Amino acid sequence: MVLNVTNSPFNEQQTELLNRLLPTLNGHQQIWLTGYLSAQAAAGVQTPGGTVVPAVPQAESAPQTPEAPAAPREVTLLYGSQTGNGSGLAKKLAKRLEEQQVKTEVLSMADFKPNNLKKIANLLIIVSTHGEGEPPDNAISFHEFLYSKRAPKLDSLNYSVLALGDTSYEFFCQTGKDFDTRLAELGASRLAERADCDVDFDETAGEWMKAVTEALSATPAAAASAADSAAPLSSDSESEYSRSHPFQAEVLENLNLNGRGSARETRHLELSLEGSGLTYEPGDSLGVYPENHPRLVDEIIAEMGWDPQENVAIGKNGAAALREALHRHYEITVLTKPLLEQAAKLTGSDTLARLTSPEAADELRAYLGNHDLLDLIRDFKLHGKSAAELTGILRKMPARLYSIASSPQATPDEVHLTVRTVRYACGGRDRYGVCSVQMAERLEPGDRLPVFIQHNPNFKLPQNPDTPIILIGPGTGVAPFRSFLAEREETGSRGKSWLFYGDQHFSTDFLYQVEWQRWIKDGILTRMDVAFSRDTDQKVYVQHRMLDKSKELYEWIDGGAAVYVCGDEKHMAHDVHSALETIIAQGGGLSPEQASEYLLRMQQEKRYQRDVY
Ligand code: NAP
């Protein structure tokens, strides 16, 4: 029914506003508004117009209004993430919501039954984006469901999305954006706007949590003040050290694992966690804050003609001498689209502005892929800008995550890493992987590295120590499997294990060869198949070895083995996935679709876990 001045107590302007608003409200919103207004009236609340609406005694209020519904007090909180950031944030948010008496059910997206969507009133999503804008493993099936024909209308659902991502990737926060868009298309209403987080997510995530807690709480003001005084998001109750307050771990050992003549260099690093209170499990990662190469820092300062001792700001509250700031606090090797956009504003350069426009997406991708800050300065003539102006638009140095290669049972108070050194030449200059080259060239026993533990609940040994495990990890992807086997040895686990490993050459690149051999001899490692890609005319990769052993592999899988894949995401992980589909289809006599469903089920049952990037 349309309101007009004759059938309502509103003036013309109010009538017009209401007629614009009312048709846009869904059923849930209409009921909520009715209740809200009557609750305001009952409490004698001052309206925005300044009039005090008198408290109306219930008995006299006619016509009968529905009872004011309590503010939403139950929420389902789903997380999807590959590295454990999502689940960590979800746990912290759940704690804050519970403190505000909001009943919160926290679930991995893989454990949520999408058919229950119709039954819930409030949904919060925390999700990261993987690879080329893809959902992380535990979000794949929920993402597919929402975009399928089976997705229901969700008119009475309220929701909000926290998207985790990295601005150095083209499809920044794409999965979060997908969920946000799709839920709106299905008729759901936003409790709070989506927030998109870069790698340094604390501040943005904190603001989003505050907004959703206020929206869901019966007492928004109390929720806001509780959020302001809450513990930092990165804090870990087990230790005083965390992502925002890293532990300075002493280097105990730093070796090159590759033999003479190898094209590769792989560092085996042993660090001490003694006195840190930091604990980890096999499958977790270590976050490391690296330092930029001093040569690149000096080249930038010389190019700009800056004073290396000039004081510049670090974040909101800190400051440091410029050389120190560029060495330790700012990212100078990776360019991002937001950085180029800000540089375009700073310089007023039309060429730079055009490079960040939607029409230049391919050109931008190519430029970001192989240029650093020094190139940007030279290519777009950033000379003349002050140190404060330029550092003001740089990203804080992000931590690097490495899969831990040691078992806390076997080597307590230590953490081991396996890190491939990245060096290449481009545009007539030598380029360095920031962290790996620091480890290779400028890190000796006795030095210290700022570190924290990144727990990864999505890459864990089976709870039952007798469950057979199949481990697929070429190159440095083998790191967590050294941890898995050391743990199984130490805990006396009797489950069978099968390792597929590969690298370029048997003689120079067989990482940890002696350890695998000892574990085979001692019965800790049941089987091992290797693929040395450059020892034969035709390349041989781990998936070829898997296909060679297709029948036996299927027997292991069918018998309940858990499958783990670690290493390169772009090619290897996809090829290994296809090989597994083939093996399951052949072994089980299944169609390709059935085999892919079989693998999806394994993923949901946590029998197929990946740590790939
Ligand atoms: P890599 O470059 O992955 O090479 C290892 C072996 O895999 C080589 O024999 C290589 O052969 C082969 N290979 C190349 N393409 C393949 C494909 N499509 N399928 C199967 N095998 C293939 O080794 P890496 O330098 O150690 O890099 C490993 C990757 O894992 C990196 O992306 C790294 O970021 C990631 N990662 C590292 C860690 C860690 O540091 N602990 C943990 C997890 C993941 P050719 O070179 O002869 O082609």
413 in a domain, yes or no?
yes
User: What are the start-end ranges of the H helices in 288-422?
Assistant: 294-304, 322-324, 337-347, 350-355, 361-369, 373-379, 387-391
Q: What's the residue count for the chain?
A: 613
Number of H helices, E strands in the chain: 22, 21
Omega prior to 63 cis, within 30 of 0: yes
- Predicted confidence at residue 44, as pLDDT, reads 47
Residues 432-439, mean pLDDT to the nearest whole number = 96
Residues of the chain above pLDDT 70, percent? 90
Nearest CA to ligand 1 atom 14: 572
Instruction: Give the Cα separation of 46 and 65 in Å (integer).
Output: 20
Looking at residue 56, its pLDDT comes to: 35
Torsion sign, CA atoms 205, 206, 207, 209 = positive
- CA pair distance 359, 18, nearest whole angstrom: 41
Instruction: State the residue range of the domain holding 123.
Output: 74-230
The residue whose CB lies within 8 Å of the most ligand 1 atoms, and thus the one to mutate among 572, 577, 578, is 572
**Burial class of residue 145 in the structure, from the number of CB atoms within 10 Å of its CB (0-12 exposed, 13-18 middle, 19+ buried):** middle
CB-based burial, 240-251: b 16+ in 10 Å, e otherwise: ebbbeebbebbb
Confirm whether 69 is domain-assigned: no
The domain tally of the chain equals 5
pLDDT at 464: 96
Specify the residue with its C-alpha closest to ligand 1, atom 9: 503
The arithmetic mean of pLDDT across residues 438-465, rounded, is 96
Copy the structure tokens of residue 499.
């390792």
State the CATH number of the domain containing residue 553.
3.40.50.80
The distance of Cα 560 from the centroid of its chain, to the nearest Å, equals: 29
- Find the residues whose C-beta lies inside 6 A of ligand 1: 402-403, 418-420, 474-477, 479, 502-504, 533-534, 539, 541-543, 566-568, 571-572, 575, 611, 613
| 92 and 204 inside one domain | yes
Query: Looking at residue 249, what is its pLDDT?
Result: 98
Strands in 210-273 per DSSP E? 247-256, 266-272
The whole-angstrom separation of Cα 507 and Cα 526 is 23
- Write down the mean pLDDT value for the chain: 90
Atom of ligand 1 nearest to the CA of 480: 41
pLDDT at residue number 613: 85
Residue type, 496: K
Q: Are residues 408 and 284 in the same domain?
A: yes
Residue with the nearest Cα to atom 6 of ligand 1? 503
Query: Rounded to the nearest whole angstrom, what is the distance from the C-alpha of residue 332 to the centroid of ligand 1?
Result: 25
Where does residue 50 fall: left (phi above 0), alpha (psi -120 to 50 degrees), or beta otherwise? left
Atom index in ligand 1 nearest the CA of residue 419 equals 40
The Å distance, Cα 205 to ligand 1 centre, comes to 33
The 10s digit of each residue's pLDDT in 99-108 is 999 999 999 9
pLDDT at 26: 58
pLDDT digits (tens, 9 = 90+) for 484-535: 999 999 999 999 999 999 999 999 999 999 999 999 999 999 999 999 999 9
78 and 210 housed in the same domain = yes
Q: Name the residue at shortest CA distance from atom 44 of ligand 1.
A: 567
CATH number at 270 reads: 2.40.30.10
Q: What is the pLDDT of residues 567-596, one digit of tens each?
A: 999 999 999 999 999 999 999 999 999 999
* Atom 5, ligand 1: residue with shortest CA distance: 475
User: Does 238 fall in a domain?
Assistant: no
Name the residue at shortest CA distance from atom 15 of ligand 1: 572
CATH number at residue 362: 1.20.990.10
137 and 221 together in one domain: yes
pLDDT higher at 126 or 218 = 126
- In a shared domain, residues 546 and 428: no
Query: What separation in Å is there between the alpha carbon of 476 and the centre of ligand 1?
Result: 7
CA distances to 139, 466, 533, 579, 584 from 553, rounded to whole Å, are 27, 17, 21, 11, 9
Structure tokens at 413: 């108070």
Distance CA 531, CA 415 (A): 28
- For residue 574, the ligand 1 atom closest to its alpha carbon is 18
* pLDDT at position 46 over 70: no
Angle at 485 between CA 479 and CA 491, to 5 degrees: 135
Of residues 7 and 255, which shows the higher confidence score?
Answer: 255
pLDDT score for 60: 38
Do 58 and 204 form a contact (C-beta atoms < 8 A)? no
- Residue 164 shares a structural domain with residue 80: yes
Of the candidates 252, 296, 236, the one whose C-alpha atom is nearest the C-alpha of residue 449 is 252
Domain-embedded: residue 236: no
User: Mutate which of 416, 418, 476 to test ligand 1's pocket (most atoms within 8 Å of Cβ)?
Assistant: 476
Would you say residue 334 lies in a domain? Answer: yes
Compute, in angstroms, the gap from residue 263 CA to the centroid of ligand 1.
13
Domain boundary among 230, 256, 278: 230
- For residue 579, the CA-to-ligand 1 centroid distance in Å is 17
Distance 31 CA to ligand 1 centre (A): 56
Q: How far is the CA of 573 from the centre of ligand 1 (A)?
A: 10
Return the ∠ at Cα 47 (arms to 41 and 53), rounded to 5°: 40
The answer to whether 259 touches 507, Cβ cutoff 8 Å, is yes
What three-state secondary structure class fits 55? coil
Residue owning tokens 């807690």: 213
- Of 125, 241, 99, 252, the C-alpha closest to 188 is 125
Both 431 and 500 in a single domain? no
Position 3 scores a pLDDT of 66
CATH number at residue 91: 3.40.50.360
Same domain flag for 254 and 223: no
Q: What's residue 57's pLDDT?
A: 37
pLDDT range class, residue 227, cuts 50, 70, 90: confident
Q: pLDDT band at 236, cuts 50/70/90? A: low
User: Residue with the nearest Cα to atom 46 of ligand 1?
Assistant: 504
The burial class, CB within 10 Å (0-12 / 13-18 / 19+), for 560 is: middle
- CA torsion 301→307→310→312, rounded to 10°? -30
The C-alpha atoms of residue 143 and residue 603 are separated, in whole angstroms, by 15
Q: What is the pLDDT of residues 66-80, one digit of tens each?
A: 454 455 589 999 999
Q: Evaluate whether residue 59 is within a structural domain.
A: no
Structure confidence at residue 500 (pLDDT): 98
Average pLDDT over every residue of 218-238: 72
What pLDDT is recorded for position 226?
77
Give distance in angstroms: CA of 475 to centre of ligand 1: 5
Co-location of 162 and 87 in the same domain: yes
Residue 43 confidence (pLDDT): 52
Cβ atoms < 10 Å from Cβ of 106 = 20
User: Which numbered atom of ligand 1 lies nearest the CA of 417?
Assistant: 41
> Which tens digits make up the pLDDT trace of 120-139?
999 999 999 988 899 998 99
Are 364 and 334 part of one and the same domain?
A: yes
- Measure 477 CA to ligand 1 centroid, in angstroms: 7
Q: What is the mean pLDDT of residues 355-364?
A: 95
pLDDT tens readout for residues 138-176: 999 999 999 999 999 999 999 999 999 999 999 999 999
Residue whose CA is at the smallest distance from ligand 1 atom 48: 533
Q: What is the pLDDT of residues 286-343, one digit of tens each?
A: 999 999 999 999 999 999 999 999 999 998 889 999 999 999 999 999 999 999 999 9
Mean pLDDT over 243-248 rounds to 94
Tell me, yes or no, whether 321 and 379 share the same domain. yes
Following DSSP, what letter does each residue of 190-210 receive, concatenated? ESS--EEE-SS-HHHHHHHHH
pLDDT tier at 59, thresholds 50, 70, 90: very low
CA 265/CA 93 separation, integer angstroms:
42
3-state SS class at 351:
helix
Task: Examine the pLDDT at 228 and tell me if it is beyond 60.
Answer: yes
> Is residue 606 domain-resident?
yes
Q: Which two tokens stand for residue 219?
A: 């007492």
| Closest ligand 1 atom, residue 532 Cα | 9
Q: Is 143 within a domain?
A: yes
Same domain assignment for residues 37 and 96? no
